Amino acid sequence: MRISVVIPALNEEAAIGGVVREVPRDLVDEIIVVDNGSTDRTAEIAAAAGARVVREPTRGYGAACLAGALAAGDTDILVFLDGDRNEDPAELPLVLGPVLAGEADLVLGARVRRGASRGTLTLQQRLGNRVVTALVRALYGLSLTDIGPFRAIPARALRDLGMEHKTYGWPVEMVVKAARRGYRIVEVPVSCRQRLGRSKVAGTLKGSLLAGYHLLLTTVRYAWRR
């Protein structure tokens, strides 16, 4: 099994080196950091830490994730996590486990199931999670606690999903498309740490509103789409 880790990053020079170094290298074949137009030293620091840096000039979380998946080529399993230190890469075995055991087609790291402390997730993130997971349950019959970024999926399954969303809707698009195809979706509890640096999404009113809009729209959009 060839395993590739994809880390989308935009101006994460404070955190990216540590995140790359924390990935268990005995479990993965490659770490791909997708520089999504950083104006700081994100790419340089990621490369120095041992990652392969891919540049994606089209801004957007989904665009960066897709670029990383494509760069991984013929890998067998893709793991996605953010470059801000919010997740703990040392917990990679927890997220990979059900896929490697043949028990899941998509594994989601659930931050709230381990009791994310206040300050690690903003009020906007907590409220957004509740609304989106409630919609996912109502529209797709899937009971989740979190739509977090730390996840693992076989590459063939991701290709089958035909991912389209280039911005904030990417995480929930993957979930709802997988649910519609009858994929086995499993949550595992993961830690949630204080991020380094200010969030480009939850750290601003504009980012929070845009993320909320795209997450809700994407959740509803695929419910009746053929």
pLDDT of 115 reads: 53
What gap in Å lies between CA 21 and CA 15, rounded to an integer? 10
What crossing angle do the helices spanning 61-71 and 170-180 adopt, rounded to 10°? 70
| Tens-digit pLDDT string for the chain (226 aa) | 999 999 999 999 999 999 999 999 999 999 999 999 999 999 999 999 999 999 999 999 999 999 999 999 999 999 999 999 999 999 999 999 999 999 999 999 998 765 554 456 767 777 878 889 999 999 999 999 999 999 999 999 999 999 999 998 999 999 999 999 999 999 999 998 887 866 555 455 565 677 777 788 888 888 877 6
In the prediction, which pLDDT does 194 show?
82
b/e burial code for range 124-158 (CB count within 10 A of at least 16 → b): bbbebbeebbebbeebbebebebbbbbbbbbbebb
- List domains and CATH numbers for the chain: 3-221 (3.90.550.10)
Whose CA is closest to 83, among 104, 110, 64?
64
Q: How far is CA 139 from CA 3, 112, 177, 221, in A?
A: 32, 22, 12, 10
Query: What is the C-alpha separation between 34 and 21, in angstroms, rounded?
Result: 16
The type of residue at 76 is D
pLDDT score for 117: 47
**10 Å Cβ neighbour count for 175?**
26
Angle value at C-alpha 164, between 1 and 73, nearest 5 degrees: 30
Q: Give the span between the Cα atoms of 174 and 141, in whole angstroms.
A: 15
pLDDT value of residue 120: 63
